[in-house]
Amino acid sequence: MADSRIPHVDLRSLRAPVLAFAAIVVFFGLPGLGGEAIDLWFQSFFWNGKDWLIPHENALGQAIAYDGPKALIIIWAVLLIGAAQFAKRVRARALYLLACLAVVAVVCTQLRAVTGMATPLELKAFGGSYDHLLLFQAKPMGYPSHAFPAGHASGGFALLGLYWILKARRWRGLALGLGVGCWMGFYQVARGEHFLSHTLATAALAWLLCVGLAWLLRKPLEREISSTS
């Protein structure tokens, strides 16, 4: 018989994603810990000294890993709004997943405006104009701030919320969220728009926010899932 409850979630459930996000931020954000070397090493697989593995003008890549997934997520959000409005049997689950999509995207967008992180393609090491400065290093006036956490991948990682609403198929939901998030995130890495650390931090932050929303909405989610078992 399918599991009629959402995975157990309480305030203690926040510990793992909080620790994961904090560990990624500290390891990659402070000099001397090794994170910077890993980021640069990983990025080197996608840069040949002149061009990125996936050029920005690559129409196929843009279609299947940028515009395409973004359009599908927007369509899914519209369908969730419709389900929340007209399908009472799945209203709580639709609202939860819609909240995941909205909150993860907004939080990532707002954070990247203040974290002061440049994209790889803006750095001198990859043909740009700026020094590579880490999250907790002081930045000069005018230093770019639109890379951390990753905005594009956040839409994919927000689908991690499926884990809390798919009953016995929750592991498929988890795999889908991780798969879509990584697909969107590593596409951006391969074209110089993000470092590995940006994508990892986005995944951990999305996990944290999805858990937090599941905790906030746990009672209506459990009632709805139990009633449809």
Q: Which residues contact 55 (CB under 8 A, 6 or more apart)?
A: 191
Whether the per-residue pLDDT at 178 is higher than 60: the answer is: yes
Confidence of residue 6 (pLDDT cuts 50, 70, 90): low
DSSP letters spanning 114-177: TS----GGGBGGGTSSB----TTS---TT-----SS-SHHHHHHGGGGGGGTSGGGHHHHHHHH
Judged by average pLDDT, the poorest of 106-115, 160-169, 171-180 is: 160-169
- Of 54 and 28, which is predicted with more confidence? 28
Query: Residue range 83-96: average pLDDT?
Result: 86
Return the SS3 of 68.
helix
- In this prediction, residue 56 carries a pLDDT of 84
- In this prediction, residue 229 carries a pLDDT of 57
**Count of Cβ atoms closer than 10 Å to residue 195 Cβ:** 28
Query: Residue range 57-68: average pLDDT?
Result: 87
CA distance 198 to 29: 10
Confidence of residue 170 (pLDDT cuts 50, 70, 90): confident
Whether the per-residue pLDDT at 4 is higher than 60: the answer is: no
Whether the per-residue pLDDT at 59 is higher than 70: the answer is: yes
Domain limits, the chain: 11-24+60-133+144-227
- In this prediction, residue 1 carries a pLDDT of 38
Whether the per-residue pLDDT at 148 is higher than 60: the answer is: yes
Closest by Cα among 146, 148, 119, 143 to 47:
119
Whether the per-residue pLDDT at 2 is higher than 70: the answer is: no
Q: Which residues contact 142 (CB under 8 A, 6 or more apart)?
A: none
> pLDDT > 90: what percent of the chain?
66
Please state whether the predicted TM-score (pTM) of the whole model is above 0.75.
yes
Q: Is the peptide bond before 17 cis (omega within 30 degrees of 0)?
A: no
- In this prediction, residue 17 carries a pLDDT of 94
